[in-house]
């Protein structure tokens, strides 16, 4: 109860002789002074999680600031991020360990980052930690997770349910818009709510399937029971998602989907196309989160062995890292640095989209925690040390921002553990072998 009326109060009236009720939107008077929780019951606003990745590391002389702490500078390679200092942290000097495993080019680094262990048979042995988080906070949303890329390839994904099941990436803005805001989208701000008949039919079929599974479960052995239990759990999660879609959503003031894209970007990997595609996909992801369609997102600017091209230059990004010489005066690969600067501009675009949406006296990004990672430190050497990363957002007040932290060779898995604990998982440790850690990146915790 607040100022004499409850948060879930409905506006009541008459329409053509019949009673109608319309839920109030989320008003500032319902929130505490920080805009992070409801004032009447202290229930926090939802904190969402994301990962944004770029390929092929950095050039240390123009990427890593000389200073640590609050007042760090933004060297040339990350200059595009300077306007968003208060929304991010820069973490440098992470390390990855492959122990006795062989090095699988452009695969080993991201698998260690996302699962805590080097690859087995060129793929992850476990689910990636974004899915671990999604299974905790995303099961009752329309989409447990959303995966997108600015490349032109659905296989540009670093999100896995298990060793054999990748979550394919959305790469067409038109198709992505249709999936998010097409016929199956329930506008939380619509005056009327009509359950989607397609969702009702799917739930009906699912109910019949689940009854069949119960019947089969009574007639199989122990090993098959275990498989059926796992399968049944997945169907229960799907049933919860259907229930959510068949329930009238509460109004969300920030949920204002734009008109659908008029034209797709095409299938090219020219830098200009990647830039436009990143902007369009970032906007769609931001609105999907604002409309509470999902609480976990995963965005890749390009494939880890990037084939993005530069106008007037004959080598795509990945080839450039191998074949371009180091400029003797500058001390780094100039064309490779051009590609990294475009990636950082892409990250700035992503941040802009999430900070442009206002939520509860702040921005959407204030109620998010986004890990920004890459696959190498020195890309010319394809090194697994000196890796940089960023974090975005304050996670509803759990994270400090505006810092440059030198982690002094700490395992990269500390960042994943920080993310899982920040999102409410009671995870004691993460990783295996030399990558095993039970420590967070404590310097950024509020």
Secondary structure (3-state) at 212? helix
To the nearest 10°, the Cα dihedral for 142, 373, 172, 274?
A: 160
List C-alpha distances in Å: 258 to 118, 171, 217.
Answer: 41, 18, 47
Under 8 Å between Cβ of 176 and 192: no
pLDDT of residue 243: 64
First to last CA, the chain: 30
pLDDT of residue 356: 97
Q: Looking at the predicted structure, is the pLDDT value of residue 60 above 90?
A: yes
pLDDT of residue 286: 97
d(CA 329, CA 312): 23
pLDDT, tens only, 243-294: 666 677 788 989 999 899 888 887 789 999 999 999 999 999 999 999 999 9
pLDDT, tens only, 309-334: 999 999 999 999 999 999 999 999 99
pLDDT of residue 2: 46
pLDDT, tens only, 166-183: 999 999 999 999 999 998
pLDDT of residue 125: 84
d(CA 230, CA 238): 13
* Percent of all residues in the chain with a pLDDT value above 90, rounded to a whole number: 67
Domains, in order of start, for the chain: 1-34 (no CATH), 45-186+266-444 (3.40.720.10)
- Least Cα distance to 395 among 365, 426, 354 occurs for 365
- Pairing outcome for strands 10-15 and 146-149: unpaired
Residue scoring higher pLDDT (120 or 223): 120
pLDDT, tens only, 92-121: 999 999 999 988 888 999 999 999 999 987
Residue scoring higher pLDDT (425 or 164): 425
Q: Looking at the predicted structure, is the pLDDT value of residue 30 above 50?
A: no
pLDDT, tens only, 373-428: 999 999 999 989 999 999 999 999 999 999 999 999 999 999 999 999 999 999 99
- Least Cα distance to 138 among 369, 295, 367, 365 occurs for 295
Under 8 Å between Cβ of 333 and 343: no
Residue scoring higher pLDDT (375 or 11): 375
36-50, 118-132, 147-161, 281-295, range with the lowest pLDDT: 36-50
Average predicted confidence (pLDDT) for the chain: 87
Residue scoring higher pLDDT (76 or 106): 76
Question: What is 133-193 written as a DSSP string?
Answer: HHHHHSTTSS-S-EEEESSS-TT----EEETTEE-PPB--HHHHHHHHHSTT---TT-SS-
Q: Looking at the predicted structure, is the pLDDT value of residue 13 above 60?
A: no
How many CA atoms lie within 13 Å of 371's alpha carbon, on the beta-carbon side? 24
């Amino acid at each position: 109860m607040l100022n004499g009326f409850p948060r879930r109060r409905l506006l009541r009236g008459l329409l053509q002789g019949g009673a109608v009720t319309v839920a109030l939107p989320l008003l500032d008077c319902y929130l505490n002074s920080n805009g992070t929780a409801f004032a009447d019951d202290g229930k926090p606003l939802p904190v969402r999680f994301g990962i944004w990745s770029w390929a092929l590391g950095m050039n240390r002389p123009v990427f890593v600031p000389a200073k640590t702490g609050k007042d760090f500078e933004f060297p040339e390679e990350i200059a595009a991020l300077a306007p968003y200092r208060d929304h991010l942290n820069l973490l440098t000097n992470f390390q990855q360990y492959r122990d006795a495993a062989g090095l699988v080019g452009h695969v080993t680094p991201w698998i260690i980052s996302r699962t805590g262990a080097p690859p087995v048979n060129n793929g992850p042995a476990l689910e990636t930690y974004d899915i671990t988080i999604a299974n905790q906070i995303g099961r009752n949303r329309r989409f447990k997770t959303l995966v997108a890329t600015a490349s032109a390839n659905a296989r540009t994904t670093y999100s896995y349910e298990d060793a054999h099941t990748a979550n394919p990436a959305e790469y067409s803005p038109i198709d992505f818009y249709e999936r998010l805001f097409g016929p199956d989208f329930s506008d939380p701000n619509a005056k009327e709510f009509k359950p989607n008949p397609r969702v009702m039919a799917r739930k009906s079929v699912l109910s019949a399937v689940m009854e069949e599974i119960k019947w089969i479960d009574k007639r199989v052995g122990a090993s098959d029971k275990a498989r059926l239990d796992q399968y049944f759990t997945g169907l229960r999660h799907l049933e919860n998602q259907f229930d959510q879609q068949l329930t009238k959503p509460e109004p969300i003031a920030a949920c204002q989907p734009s008109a659908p894209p008029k034209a797709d970007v095409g299938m090219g990997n020219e830098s200009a196309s990647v830039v436009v595609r990143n902007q369009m996909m970032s906007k769609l992801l931001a609105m999907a989160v604002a409309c509470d369609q999902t609480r976990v997102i995963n965005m890749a600017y390009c494939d880890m062995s990037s084939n993005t091209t530069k106008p007037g230059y004959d080598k795509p990004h990945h080839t450039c890292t191998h074949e371009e010489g180091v400029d003797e005066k500058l001390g780094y690969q100039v064309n490779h640095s051009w590609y990294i600067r475009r990636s950082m501009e892409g990250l700035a675009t992503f941040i802009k989209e999430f900070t442009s949406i206002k939520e509860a006296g702040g921005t959407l990004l204030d109620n998010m925690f986004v890990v920004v990672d890459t696959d190498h430190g020195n890309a010319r050497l394809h090194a697994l040390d000196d890796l940089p990363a960023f974090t975005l957002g304050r996670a509803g007040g759990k994270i400090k921002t505006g810092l440059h932290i030198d982690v002094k060779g700490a395992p990269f898995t500390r960042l994943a553990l920080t993310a899982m604990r920040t999102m409410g998982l009671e995870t004691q440790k993460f990783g295996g072998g030399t990558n095993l850690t039970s420590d967070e990146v404590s310097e950024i915790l509020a």
